[in-house]
Each structure stands twice: as structure tokens, then as C-alpha cells.
Amino acid sequence: MRYCLLLLTLWYCAVNGLLYPAESETRQIRSLDGLWQFRLDEDGVGETEQWFAKPNLPQPTILMPVPASYNDITQNITIHRHIGWVWYARDFFIHNTAPRWVLRFQAAHYETHVWVNGQSAMNHSGGHLPFEADITRFISINESYSKVRVVVAINNTLTSTTLPPGYLHIYNPTYRYLETPFDFFNYAGIDRSVILYSTSNIYIQDIAIDTQSINFDNQHVATSAILTYSITIGGTNRANSLHVLIELLDANGIVVANNTDSQSRLVVNKPNLWEPCGMNHTHPCTEESYLYTLQVTLYNDASSSSSSSMNVVDIYRISHIGIRTIRLTDSKFLVNERPFYFHGANAHEDSDIRGKGFDRVILTKHFNLYGWLHGNAFRTSHYPYADEFYQMADRFGIAIIDETPAVGLSATQFVSQATLDHHKQVVIEMISRDRNHPSVLMWSLANEPKSDAPSAKEYFSTLANFTRPLAAGRPITYVISASYNGDQGIQFFDMICVNRYFGWYSEPGRLDQIPWLVSQELANWRRRFPNKPILMSEYGADTVPGLHNDPSFMFTEEYQNDFLSAYHGSFDNVSSIIHPDTGYFVGELVWNMFDFATEQSINRVAGLNRKGLFTRQRQPKAAAFIMKNRYEQLELIRTMKSKTIQ
């Protein structure tokens, strides 16, 4: 076997991802999930009093599960609505069997400071993306083991420059209120897992893959595909003594392509393609989608004539490589050069007791319900979800529109350099984390910004120009609530995604008005942007399960049924799959898959947005069956091309 010299120059894309912690022959993984010590810091004195340096957090402390939002774990309303700092701490042991240890938080909301053995290890701003630090320097590697104390301070206060933004109002010493210009509860804490992992001193730092090139024969069978990739190595100055082997393994573990350059391409003959479920009748949503594994092995110099494992420095595998292409025409969203129609329901990371805390039970139920519903797509409204959602979407063949946490932007944010800088940073972190997932078909850079403000033009033009070179072959968009003639920014993006609530926030109770309002809305957007496909990214009605009325009234299960159905005829009239020659409408995403927690308010009964097809406990309302029926029919559309779906 021949190993080429590794080039350790920084590669063309200025993004270094945080590879998902994965176990291998050279890497150990340890979960630090469990019960941590926890307390509020209502006076914000913890840092000045150096709680991070003490053997215990000052009393009173309670036990807090990680991962979980802390808000709903106790019966204490003060903890539920706390604004400001909270502290977490735990001790553990590291057995010194590896030269380098990394501490990683999959996410914590919002501003996070971490100390290891009393010393500052990392700070991070932003609630929905991972951050990590090499903590080797804080532990005594000369002993056979090290005792480690991790202390974490987290502040959930949002400001005009955080994403999402928020505004703190202090009315009196006991009444502080955080205004959140978005419609979900500002859950906080260590919401996702904490992981300790080891590597060697020299390690595979990042892998970027692009599967944008496939050759098809005239029967539309894929004859070959090209994967371009780039490997970044960390922690070394021994540039000339390293070699790399990149292997692509099929689902049976057979190597189907390999290469020994750190930036190059792999050619795959007769590839099995990744496709969103429903694009192919043999592939219903509950079956696994076709995934390859990319295996990267790093060797040191001594291995140039041998593949002895003694000389292996690091091995990393990505087990969710999907081969597929994405291309937009002026009226279609093509996956593998075939028209794709997004259908499904958006969600929040939200569940009883856990808040935004990651939970595999909730995750698995989510995807099982997606299979049951025959949904094929969702948007990670309104922030990047836990990595594990994307891994499941890769397997189940669910398309993802991956969204930044830029929800609730007003004209104030568009003139703030600090907001723009943070927005760019979040784009980098999101794309670098998620770009290797085949399920991610598009990046959404914001939800419902005040895009009809004049300053939105400059802001979104700058953001689009910044994102495009990083976008890893995906179209970019943001989700619009502004009117078709008021919006200033979408001209710089690839696709139109609009949220509309005719028959709910406007024309309440007037189901009869919905069809023409929807048709007119889509036609207006089309007239202004004849070269961009259109998707309805939200439509929905609050529904209290068990509430009935005939004729259908708002909030009843009948109204949700009739409301959703009233939109569908207008969608079908311009659907890009029902009318391949004239259609330009490429998808419909219901708001929402599940009821979810919001701030308490007069239009949110018991603090829930009730637009879910399912309750917060994941039980179906009547509309879930209506949507299941529609999605089953949408999947059959290829064989019913000329028919309109009822």
C-alpha cells in the first residue's frame, strides 16, 4: 500500500468542524451525563466569590440531571422562571491511558463558562451548538489517574446581540422579566450531553465531504459518483512524517474506494444513493436509508511500508455518508436530479419535564411518528438540533432544513455589527457541525426576521455572501413572515420559504377565505421571484385535544382538520410534482408536529402552543390522521402524475 505525503496546510474552506465524538481503536469516549450538583446564583456573585475554585458549590445545592433543562425538574417556580446565572458541578476520575483528553458540551444555553480543576477551560456563547476544550493541561498526567472537578456557570439572559435576542426588563428588586421575541420557552441549562473523549497527540481534527457529483445512465441509474473530501490534522508540527488512508466502506463493510491524499476525491462505481423516503416506493420512511462509512486512518512515518496497527496514530469513522446530489432549478428542488417535494411537520426540541433536554426516548419516538405519518422533511425550527437528530434523519431518509437560532430579529439587529458577527459565527458553527449529513438539504439562516425593514437589505446581502462559499453544496434561504412586496433580503437567497396563518392570525375563523388567500399569496411571490421555487414553511392552527364543534370552530379538532385541508388544494394547483411543467411549489411543512411550551400568555393556554398534530405527550389529534393520509397520497404521486390530490 502506498501512502502519500500529507499536506498540513489549512484547506480552502475556513471552517473547522467539531467532529462528533466517536469511539475507535484510538479514541475512548466517556459520558459525563448523570446527576450533577446544581444551584441558582440569584445575586450573580459566583464568579467573584470563586465558586469554581471551591471543593463544593455553596449550599443550598440540589441534584440536577444532565442533560436536561433545569426549569421543569422541580416544583419550584423560582427555578422555572429564573433569569441569570446557575451553577453545575461534578467530580470524576480520568485514568491516564491516553495523551490527550477533550471535554465537550453538546450544548448549553446560553452563555457558558467552564472551569476544570479550578482553572478556566472554555467559554461559549450560544445555546444550540457544541463546544469543547483540550483539558489535558489541567490534569496530572504523571499519575496513573487524575481527579477532575468540572464546574460550569450558565447564564440564560438574552440580549439584543444574542441569537435569539431578548430584552431584560427590571421592574423592581423581585420582578425581572426577560422579553423573548419568539414563541417558545427560553429553557436553559446543560441541555445536551457532556462527553469526555481521548485522542492521541496528533489526531484527525476535521473531515469535510461533498457528494455533489453523480453520473446517471439514460434509465436514471447511477453509474458512478465522486466524493470530494478534505481532512484536517490537529496537534502536530511534524508535518512530513504523517500519512493518511481514506476508505469508503459500503453497508456490508466492503471497501469500495480509497485514497491516500488528505484532500482529494473518491470515485464510487455503481453507488447506492441516499434518498429522502417516499422518493422511491421500495423505501418507506421506516426503513433505513443507504449509508456508507468513511474511515480515515492516520499513520506516522514508520508505517510507510507496512500497515501494522502499531503505527496507527488515529482512526475516525463517519458512519452516515450518503451519496446524493441537490440542485435547484427555477421551479424545482432536485435530489439526485429528480423533483423532491418536502412534506412533514416542523417541531421544537421540547418535551414534558426535560424542556429542551436531549432524550433518546423522545428522539426515537419522534422518528417513529415521522415514519407513521409518512413525513419526509422537517426544519430544525428555530435552532440547530442535537447531532443525534441528524444521524437519525440520515438513517430514516428524512430531509432537514437546518436553521440557525436567528429567530426574532428586528430592525435593531440589522444595524448591529455585534449581531452580524455573531450570526456569522453561528453559521460557521452550524455548517461545520452538520455539513457531512446527507439529510441536510438546505440551510435556513433565520426565522421571520423583520425583513421588510430597509436595513434588512444590507444585512441579508452580507450574510448571504458570507454563507455561500461555506454552504457545502446546499441552497440557502431564510423563512419569511414579511409580505411578498415588502421583503428586502430574500433576493440574495436561493429559495422562498413563507410562513402564513390565513384563517388563524388573520381572518380568524374564516376557513372559506383560505384557498384564495393562499393561491394569491403564492402567485404574488412567484410574480416577484419567477426564478426561485417556493415552499410553505409554516401553516397551522391551535387545537385543544378533545374539543369538538360542528360546524368547526377555532381551537377544535374539526377546525384543525378543515384548516389544514383548506390549504392543500392551493398547494396542489402549483405543485412542482403534480404539474411538472408549470408548478413551482416544492413543499409544505405543518406548524407543528407536537404541542410545545411557550411563555405564559393570554393566547397560550397553560403555557403551550397547541398547533401540534400530536400532543406534547406524542399522542395524535384527529388532524394527524388527515395528514398521514395526505402524505401517503403525496408519496404515490409519481404513479398518479396527472391527478390532483384531494
Show the binding pattern over residues 178-217: x = contacts ligand GCB (CB under 6 A), - = does not. Answer: -----x----------------------------------
Nearer to ligand GCB, 434 or 542 (CB): 542
Q: Which residues pair with 259 in a beta bridge?
A: 246
Q: Residues 111, 132, 448, 635: which is the catalytic one?
A: 448
Q: Which amino acid is at 473?
A: G
Angle between helices 622-635 and 360-373 (to 10 degrees): 60
| In the block, residue with C-alpha cell 444590507 | 458
* DSSP code for 422: H
The answer to whether residues 17 and 209 touch, using CB atoms and an 8 Å cutoff, is no
**Residue 404, number of CB atoms within 10 A of its CB:** 28
* Cβ at position 447, least distance to ligand GCB in Å: 5
Mapping DSSP to helix (H, G, I), strand (E, B) and coil, where does residue 416 land? Answer: coil
The answer to whether residues 584 and 534 touch, using CB atoms and an 8 Å cutoff, is yes
How far apart are the C-alpha atoms of 176 and 12, rounded to whole Å? 47
Q: Does 380 bind ligand GCB (CB under 6 A)?
A: no
Q: Which amino acid is at 512?
A: D
The CB-nearest residue to ligand GCB is: 183
Mapping DSSP to helix (H, G, I), strand (E, B) and coil, where does residue 483 land? Answer: coil
Q: Which amino acid is at 369?
A: L
Q: Does 481 bind ligand GCB (CB under 6 A)?
A: yes
How far apart are the C-alpha atoms of 532 and 493, rounded to whole Å? 9
Show the binding pattern over residues 483-522: x = contacts ligand GCB (CB under 6 A), - = does not. Answer: ----------------x-----------------------
Q: Report how far apart the first and last C-alpha atoms of the chain are (Å, whole number).
A: 60
How far apart are the C-alpha atoms of 366 and 345, rounded to whole Å? 11
* DSSP code for 491: G
How far apart are the C-alpha atoms of 275 and 28, rounded to whole Å? 33
Based on the residue annotation, tell me whether 448 is a catalytic residue of this protein. Answer: yes
Give residues 420-449 in contact with ligand GCB (rule: CB under 6 A). 447-448
Mapping DSSP to helix (H, G, I), strand (E, B) and coil, where does residue 493 land? Answer: coil
Nearest-CA neighbor of 326 among 336, 340, 341, 316? 336
Q: In whole angstroms, how far apart are CA 307 and each of 135, 265, 293?
A: 31, 22, 20
Q: In terms of C-beta density within 10 A (0-12 exposed, 13-18 middle, 19 or more buried), how is residue 282 classed? A: exposed
Nearer to ligand GCB, 448 or 521 (CB): 448
Dihedral of CA atoms 393, 397, 401, 407 in degrees, nearest 10, equals: -30
Show the binding pattern over residues 519-538: x = contacts ligand GCB (CB under 6 A), - = does not. Answer: -------------------x
Q: What is the number of residues in the chain?
A: 646
How far apart are the C-alpha atoms of 364 and 393, rounded to whole Å? 11
Nearer to ligand GCB, 314 or 538 (CB): 538
- List of E strands, 173-260: 175-179, 194-199, 203-216, 222-234, 242-249, 255-259
> From the centroid of its chain, how far is CA 301?
39
Q: Does 543 bind ligand GCB (CB under 6 A)?
A: no
Nearest-CA neighbor of 244 among 299, 205, 323? 299
Q: Which amino acid is at 626?
A: I
The answer to whether residues 11 and 268 touch, using CB atoms and an 8 Å cutoff, is no
How far apart are the C-alpha atoms of 328 and 443, rounded to whole Å? 13
The answer to whether residues 528 and 489 touch, using CB atoms and an 8 Å cutoff, is no
Show the binding pattern over residues 585-614: x = contacts ligand GCB (CB under 6 A), - = does not. Answer: ------x-----------------x-x---
* Cβ at position 336, least distance to ligand GCB in Å: 30
How far apart are the C-alpha atoms of 497 and 515, rounded to whole Å? 18
How far apart are the C-alpha atoms of 304 and 301, rounded to whole Å? 6
| In the block, residue with C-alpha cell 458570507 | 466
Mapping DSSP to helix (H, G, I), strand (E, B) and coil, where does residue 79 land? Answer: helix
* Cβ at position 395, least distance to ligand GCB in Å: 27
How far apart are the C-alpha atoms of 85 and 386, rounded to whole Å? 23
Helices (H), 489-556: 514-528
Q: Which amino acid is at 445?
A: L
Nearer to ligand GCB, 414 or 594 (CB): 594
| Residues in binding contact with ligand GCB, number by CB under 6 A | 10
**Which parts of this chain interact with ligand GCB (CB under 6 A)?**
183, 382, 447-448, 481, 499, 538, 591, 609, 611
Active site residues: 448
